[in-house]
Amino acid sequence: MRRHPFLTALVCGASVLVLSACGSDGGGGPAPRGALADLPDYFMGPEAVLFLGYDSNGNRLVEASEFDAGANASFARADTDSNGRVSAIELGEWCMTELGHREAMSMLSFGVMADQQIDNAAFAQGLRSRWAKLDRNRDGSLQRTELWSEMPDLQFGPRERRERPRDYDGAGGSSTGGGTIGG
């Protein structure tokens, strides 16, 4: 077997760099753990992403006229049966398509109960209330900087391990042994 000194040195050097990076906390206290370490300090909520799409003239500012046109277009996309009203099912489908999650907005957030339907005015008003919360400088338009929200301070402890039912063997049958999920 032939050895390649250059490749051996390259692999050893890369290993040292990786191991030193894993052991370093950056001097700022304990190193963050798991996926939470990758979370940014700020995020953009689903409605902010929706409002970004309303910037029709490309000036990186969502103006009131663009909001009105965007809200009407959003309503038209949500009203899939074209009856002038959005049902809870239509709203869920619209949320999934436009906002990435079926429950991103609820019927209650538009001021109606789940068994009612939303007309265009109530739909626009529901979006406008979110718009108003994001318009921090109250100038009637949304700048990119207003669309970012600060991450809440989350405190997580170690993940809890749940006991697996004693009669569960992982294949739908029964077993006499116990165990823990994830362990």
pLDDT at 150 (0 to 100) = 77
Q: What is the per-residue pLDDT across 61-103, written as a single tens digit (0 to 9) for each?
A: 999 999 999 999 999 999 999 999 999 899 999 999 998 888 8
The residues, ordered by sequence, that sit 6+ positions from 115 with a Cβ below 8 Å of its Cβ are: 88
Q: Which is higher by pLDDT, 136 or 26? A: 136
Q: What pLDDT, on the 0 to 100 scale, is given for residue 116? A: 86
pLDDT on residue 72: 97
For 154-181, the pLDDT digits (tens) are 655 554 544 444 443 444 444 444 444 4
pLDDT of residue 164: 41
Question: Please, which residues bridge with residue 149 across strands?
Answer: 43
Phi, psi of 116 (to 5 degrees): -100, 180
What pTM value is reported for the model?
0.60
**Residue 145 φ then ψ, to 5°:** -65, -25
The domain defined by 42-145 carries CATH number 2.60.120.620: no
| pLDDT given at position 156 | 56
Nearest residue to 176 (alpha-carbon basis) of 165, 164, 166? 166
Residue 38: predicted pLDDT:
55
